[in-house]
Amino acid sequence: MKQNFIISAFLCCMMFIGCKDDDVASGSFDPSQPVEFKDFSPKEGQVRTRLYIYGKNFGTDETKIHVNVGGKEAKVIGSTGEIIYCMVGKRSYDGTVTVTIDDKDGKPAATKTFDEKFNYIPKTTVGTLLRKVDESGNSSYSYGSFDGEASAPANDWLVFDPKYAEIGGDRILFAANWHDGLRVLNLTQRTHTRLFPRRQYSAMFSFTFTADGDTLIFPDDNGQASNETRPNMYYCLRSEGFKKMRPYNYGPCSYGVVCMPNGTKFYSSWTNACVYRMENPTGEIPNTDVNRTRCFSLTALTQTDGQHMRLILHPSAKYMYIIMEGAPVVLRSNYNEKTNMFETPIIIAGKFGAWGCVEGTGTSARFDQPWSGTFVKNYDYVKNPRPDGELYDFYFSAYENHCIWKLTPDGVATIVAGRSNENADGKVTGYIDGDPLKEARFYHPTGVTYDETNETWYIGDNGNRGIRYITRE
């Protein structure tokens, strides 16, 4: 009621001012009188919240009034001289409210930073980036404009270009699934293109950038259990537009790779679920990895013949997480700088052989086919530092859980999107955008990546034949 009264009063005042003769400077800023800043309301809200600043002698020329909330401009809609009406902008997280009134020459005449902060509540929503299906729900790959014929039905692995913000380029999302080559989704131009088809390689389970962001490395399930007769890694270069794929390393089948800042490569292989350090004494490419060094085998943790282990390097390069659809766990392997080796992993969450969908901490959590994941900086850890100095949470998809999980450094696993309204119809799968936990549904989510600049996750939603996103607006 109070908010409605304020809006009505504001509109009445604006109408009154608008009816005055043009030559009457009613409500104009008076430089001979002090500017008084009293308060603002409401005290909390999301993006596009209508914010009112109360006081005196603001003037009515909105071009001379500037409001900043949380370091972001709050667009000024109007002023009665005693009430400023503005809109809270995106990502005004800090909440500090600052108002500046300019004089007739455009120079600051009065500035006020309120002691009380606006409590900005981030709004998170699930949406669809690209999805084209026929009346039967079928889809196939096609290229062109997002708004035209483009279609990308299966995206097992997604990686965001790590250098686009640095070089001022377009926002590029690289996508692949095991049988259809490498594709590019240009989010700036809204186009979908294929860089190269599946010709040389057998099956691509994942890919990653080198530390400098200029080379893409692709592990390959080449069907070779132990020999070096076929490439198990390929590469392509930014300088060539990532359009040429060449052999990088010859060795046993591989599913995941991490590239260390010192140039060392580590990759996973099937037999006994091992991780190897690539040995390249000559520095020549392609390399034949006859002297590869085994870091560890998952047989130290569980009985297994092999696994499709995906390796995700932490931004600090001090450890990596390991996930695989064949085991309902998330593992952590620490990097030993002295030996230049990754150590036998420990379980962060989940339990070998215990499938399900249960939020929890450590081994009490239950997952079903973890597929892909990415580290995301948690700014609460920046504001309130953790004892271990950790800054990142881990977000990952689970194919048969039909949802996106968040895993904290302490091993607390919670669902952040999907499986909404199960009580309504007894279903957890579907194609629904909206609130992540109240409306949104996925169907076999796979690839997951994150654009830090725009605070947006991108998800390959293979069962729904498209790419979804989760964004903080």
The two structure tokens encoding residue 408: 């904290």
- Token pair, residue 67, equals 């409001």
Model confidence at 369, in pLDDT bands (50, 70, 90)? very high
Average pLDDT over residues 385-392: 97
pLDDT of residue 199: 76
| pLDDT at res. 206 | 96
Q: What is the C-alpha separation between 118 and 87, in angstroms, rounded?
A: 12
DSSP string, 19-38: HS-TT--TT---TTS--EEE
Mean pLDDT is lowest, of 22-31, 89-98, 159-168, 267-276, for 22-31
Which is more confident, 200 or 346? 346
Quote the strand ranges of 298-423, DSSP E: 310-313, 319-324, 327-336, 341-342, 346-350, 360-361, 370-377, 392-398, 403-407, 412-418
pLDDT at 19 > cutoff 80: no
**Cα separation values, 430 from 372, 378, 406, Å:** 20, 29, 20
Flag whether pLDDT at 179 surpasses 90. Answer: no
Specify the length of the chain in residues: 473
Distance CA 194, CA 140 (A): 13
Per-residue pLDDT at 11: 46
Instruction: Convert the pLDDT of each residue in 36-95 to its tens digit.
Output: 999 999 999 999 999 999 999 999 999 999 999 999 999 999 999 999 999 999 889 899
Provide the pLDDT for residue 177.
87
d(CA 37, CA 357): 53
Confidence of residue 27 (pLDDT cuts 50, 70, 90): low
- Name the pLDDT band for 16 (thresholds 50, 70, 90): very low
Residue 122 or 209, more confident: 209
Is residue 5 pLDDT above 70, yes or no? no
Please, which residues bridge with residue 247 across strands? 234
